[in-house]
Copies of this chain bind each other. A is one copy, B any other.
Amino acid sequence: MEPLKVVIWGAGAMGLGVARMISRKQGIEVAGAVDLSPEKIGRTLDTLTGCPQQRAITVVSTLEEAMKADPDIVLIATASMTRDVFPRVMEVLKYGKPVITTAEEMAYPRPTEPELCRKMDDLACEKGVAVLGTGINPGFVMDLLVVALSGACMDVRKVKVTRVNDLSPFGPTVLHEQGVGMTEEAFREGIRAGTVEGHVGFVQSIHMISDALGLGVDRIDQGREPIVSKVRREEKGIVVEPGMVAGCRQTGYGFRGDELVVEMLHPQQIHPQLEGIDTGDSIEITGTPDIRLEIKPEIPGGIGTIALLVNCIPLVLKSKPGLITMLDLPVPFSYMGDYRRIS
């Protein structure tokens, strides 16, 4: 029996992380890699991943070339928005292959992009394959885990989820998107101009929880405020002097009428421990019973997203066809055996 074959679309931090994780697993291998960056096209994948067994894979610039390997699945890690990955998802679907993508909006895309979702769902159903968006957040820690935990509750009146994380492991692009190193004024201007993005995913997570639990959220408010540092912090050459911005404090509130039923807090910054802040994930369900869950430190974002992408492959291969979400699949798991046994 052949190993499962995976094509990576996007050879950035996530795509290359996926390739490295797959290199350590049995019964699964990277069969192709697509990227648009001129400095990556034509290189062999091992020079990017450090994995010798990927020496035979050359990064190509088109899906068509990569599909010659006849992969079982394509993982797309190129963008955050549904509209940006949509043409790529459709292109893969035309080959009749399933897709998993890191695009944050794709973790629960129907509320914001119903028309694009209808098109992806139709083509996926026609081809008999599934399309999934996943990642650590949205896709797991601030939504799926909340839904799963509610399974032990007779009723749920309110949910509060907090993720306090450390941005230090991320690259300069992410740090800039979160406003790290800016003045407060530049941060606020960046929010207005769209150059400071903050976290993409609260709308998706709140809708996912509300739909799963029947909480009836009919309005979502979001806030993005600068985390102004009291101390000097530095990372990847970006210096944050006291009074400057160390990150973005994102808030999301889901209301049913006037009642707050889903609350999300997600302050992201570099080196939070310099101000004595402990990182962690926490979930508070107010219901019968109340449940208070804490994960300390937080599940790291990069590793967690890469893991979920790879760990969901066997589940997506066995899924019903169509545009699916994590709510449609059995719980994900980290598999230490041979992937051929479970796919």
Report which A residues bind B (CB closer than 8 A): 21, 24, 136, 140-141, 144-145, 147-156, 212-216, 287-289, 291-297, 299-300, 303-304, 306-308, 310-312, 326-338, 341-342
Closest chain B CB from A266 CB (angstroms) = 16
Closest 10 CB pairs of A and B: A151-B332, A214-B337, A148-B331, A150-B334, A152-B304, A153-B334, A214-B336, A212-B333, A154-B307, A147-B333
Q: Which chain B residue has the least Cβ–Cβ distance from A339?
A: B214
Q: Which residues of B contact A289 (CB under 8 A)?
A: 299-300, 303-304
Q: Which residues of B contact A300 (CB under 8 A)?
A: 289
Q: Which chain B residue has the least Cβ–Cβ distance from A282?
A: B294
Q: Which chain B residue has the least Cβ–Cβ distance from A20?
A: B154
Q: How far is the CA of A145 from the CA of B148 in the complex (A)?
A: 8
Q: Which chain B residue has the least Cβ–Cβ distance from A17?
A: B154
B144 touches A336 (CB 8 A): no
Q: List 9 A-B contacts (CB under 8 A).
A: A148-B333, A152-B334, A156-B334, A214-B342, A291-B295, A293-B294, A294-B295, A294-B296, A327-B333
Number of identical protomers: 2
B295 touches A292 (CB 8 A): yes
Q: How far is the CA of A295 from the CA of B290 in the complex (A)?
A: 11
A308-B152 contact, Cβ under 8 Å, with A291-B295, A295-B292, A327-B331: yes
Q: Which of A148, A303, A312 has the most CB of B within 10 A?
A: A148
B333 touches A330 (CB 8 A): no
Chain A interface, DSSP helix/strand/loop, else mixed: mixed
Which one of B215, B307, B341 contacts A153 once the chains associate, using CB atoms below 8 Å? B307
Which one of B141, B213, B216, B294 contacts A334 once the chains associate, using CB atoms below 8 Å? B213
Q: How far is the CA of A64 from the CA of B334 in the complex (A)?
A: 44
Q: Which residues of B contact A326 (CB under 8 A)?
A: 331
Q: How far is the CA of A90 from the CA of B36 in the complex (A)?
A: 59
Q: How far is the CA of A288 from the CA of B299 in the complex (A)?
A: 10
Q: How far is the CA of A141 from the CA of B153 in the complex (A)?
A: 12
Closest chain B CB from A166 CB (angstroms) = 12
A334-B154 contact, Cβ under 8 Å, with A148-B145, A293-B295, A299-B291: yes
Q: Which chain B residue has the least Cβ–Cβ distance from A137?
A: B152
A136 touches B155 (CB 8 A): no
Q: Which chain B residue has the least Cβ–Cβ distance from A301?
A: B152
Q: Which of A151, A213, A297 has the most CB of B within 10 A?
A: A151
Which one of B136, B147, B296 contacts A331 once the chains associate, using CB atoms below 8 Å? B147
B331 touches A216 (CB 8 A): no
Q: Which residues of B contact A304 (CB under 8 A)?
A: 152, 289
